[in-house]
Amino acid sequence: MIRNAVAANRFYDGDPKRLRHELGRLVGPLKDVKPALAVIAPHAGYMYSGHTAAAAYARVNVPSACVVIGPNHTGLGSPAAIMSGGYWTMPMGTVPVEEKLANDVLARSRQLKNDIQAHLYEHSIEVQIPFLQYRQPNLKIVPICLAGLPYQACEDIGRSIAGAIETFEEPVLLIASTDMSHYEPKNQAEKKDRLAIERILALDPQGLFNTIFETGISMCGVIPTTVTLIAAMALNAERAVLVDYSTSGDTTGDYQSVVGYASIIID
> Which residue(s) pair with 264 in the sheet?
40, 242
Non-local (6+) Cβ contacts of 157 within 8 A are 80, 109, 111, 112, 144, 146, 149, 227, 230
Whats the size of the chain, residue-wise?
Answer: 267
Domain range 2-266, its CATH number among 3.30.360.10, 3.40.50.150, 3.30.300.210, 3.40.830.10? 3.40.830.10
**pLDDT for the residue 1:** 84
List the domain boundaries for the chain.
Answer: 2-266
Cα–Cα distance, 49 to 251 (Å, whole number)? 9
Contact 131, 23 (CB under 8 A): yes
Element (H, E) at 245: strand 240-247
The pLDDT value recorded for residue 32 is: 86
Measured distance CA(142)–CA(234) in Å, rounded? 18
Strand, coil or helix: 198:
helix
Q: How many other C-beta atoms lie within 10 A of the C-beta of residue 61?
A: 13
Cβ atoms within 10 Å of 74's Cβ, excluding its own: 17
pLDDT for the residue numbered 130: 98
H helices present in 120-167, as ranges = 123-126, 129-135, 151-167
Could you say which DSSP state residue 128 is in?
T
Residue by residue, pLDDT tens for the chain (267 residues) are 899 999 999 999 999 999 999 999 999 999 789 999 999 999 999 999 999 999 999 999 999 999 999 999 999 999 999 999 999 999 999 999 999 999 999 999 999 999 999 999 999 999 999 999 999 999 999 999 999 999 999 999 999 999 999 999 999 999 999 999 999 999 999 999 999 999 999 999 999 999 998 998 999 999 999 999 999 999 999 999 999 999 999 999 999 999 999 999 999
Which residues have CB under 8 Å from 206's CB, separation 6+? 151
